[in-house]
Chain A
Amino acid sequence: MVKMEHKIINREIKNVRINLIDISDENVRTQKQRENLEELKTSIQRVGLIHPIILIEGKNGKFSLLVGQRRLLAFKQLNQSTIPSIIINDLDSLSRKILSFTENIHRRDLPYSDTIRICDELFNSYSGSEKTKIDKIAKDIGISPGTVAKYLAYRLVPKSVQDMVTKEKISRNAAYKITTAFWPNYEKIEKIAKYASEVPNASWSRALDVGRKKPSASADEIIEESSSASKDLQFSVSFSKDTYDILESKAKERGKIEKRDISVKEFILQIIEEYLSRGE
């Protein structure tokens, strides 16, 4: 058996000309390269590049990018000619993939509670209109204004539910949706959030629907109805692009009426339920 060695032996940090860098086949990031790129660019403009990208020196003075596709893309879009890089010794293909994967898997979303706290503190400290303050916070901490606004809204999520997000018992989006749906009833929010931590997404989404239809129902009644009243049936349907576009546009129209986002999936579920409730 061949003993695999994934360790980096040699490393050297230097500024490398961007036009000499090619993306390695072993770079594991194949999607979302452009996600939140504006935030990364803002951060680079503000504080510079905190973590250099990782390259392997190839033949003819060219370099192969192993880790840091988004950072490289951001530098390109910022019209930079060089980028701080760590040049490592050549590795076998598997080691390259492992290194790239390990680097990427350790990435985390913005720390939930810390980001809420800093946005709150800055929002209360800065002066000017709401928009001015949000733009300034966004610039200062290197995230988009939309993300700042979201974190300001997250302040209203009950602390106990924020803790559940920090402990990864529920997603931040679930906490936000549940708090929105049952605001300002903290007791209901906390109970439904606890329920959400124990069941699949579809179940707690149903609880939101039940809550919307029966605003006076207690949390226990909502949970009981959403967990007993429906049965999951999973199947896939292929639509032509034209049909899908129509469904998407109808879902958007309904979303406007209900003043919330309605996915195509939810819209289809609604029209099935409406059809069945018409009776004979």
Chain B
Amino acid sequence: MGNICPFCDKEFTNILDHISIRHRISSIEDYESKVKEKEDKKIKIRAFLEYSKEVTERLRRGEISPEKLRELRDKWMKDNHLIW
């Protein structure tokens, strides 16, 4: 099992030393909430990539313009509070 940080994917020597300073985590609650935040973001990114694939397909079929594609993607990100 490698010592990889769940937040920055970097290697660490000691998890407590690393996350307490580098990620400013000061309690287990803090840790769990940040892990959840990270998981939620991963899920959102996956959903966005799916949506993006779908609208790009519509662009290929000529159903929407490139401007509309950008507009739809931006709207999705805004509605789902996804900050890249």
Contacts and interface: CB of A to CB of B under 8 A. Distances in A.
Contact of B13 (A149, A215, A260): A260
Interface string B1-37: 1010000000111111101111011111001100000
A159 to B, nearest CB: 9
Nearest to B25: A156
A110 to B, nearest CB: 17
Given A153-B16, A259-B3, A259-B13, A158 B26 contact: no
A184 interface: yes
Contacts of B3: 259
Nearest to A159: B27
A179 interface: yes
A149 B21 contact: yes
Contacts of B21: 130, 134, 149, 152-153
A184 B28 contact: yes
Interface residues of A, number: 22
B27 A156 contact: yes
Nearest to B23: A130
Contacts of A130: 21-22
A176 B32 CA distance: 19
Interface of A is mostly: helix
A116 to B, nearest CB: 9
A156 B13 contact: no
A120 interface: yes
Nearest to B3: A259
A156 B14 contact: no
Nearest to A181: B15
B20 A184 contact: no
A101 interface: no
Interface in A119-163: 120, 123-124, 130, 134, 149-150, 152-156, 158
B28 A156 contact: yes
A158 B30 CA distance: 12
The 5 closest A-B pairs by CB, nearest first: A153-B16, A155-B26, A153-B20, A152-B20, A153-B17
17 contacts: A124-B24, A124-B26, A130-B21, A134-B21, A149-B17, A149-B21, A150-B17, A152-B20, A153-B17, A156-B16, A156-B20, A176-B16, A179-B16, A183-B15, A186-B28, A259-B11, A260-B13
Given A149-B17, A156-B27, A158-B28, 19 more contacts: A120-B26, A124-B24, A124-B26, A130-B21, A130-B22, A134-B21, A152-B20, A152-B26, A153-B17, A155-B20, A155-B26, A155-B27, A156-B25, A156-B31, A176-B16, A180-B14, A186-B28, A260-B13, A260-B14
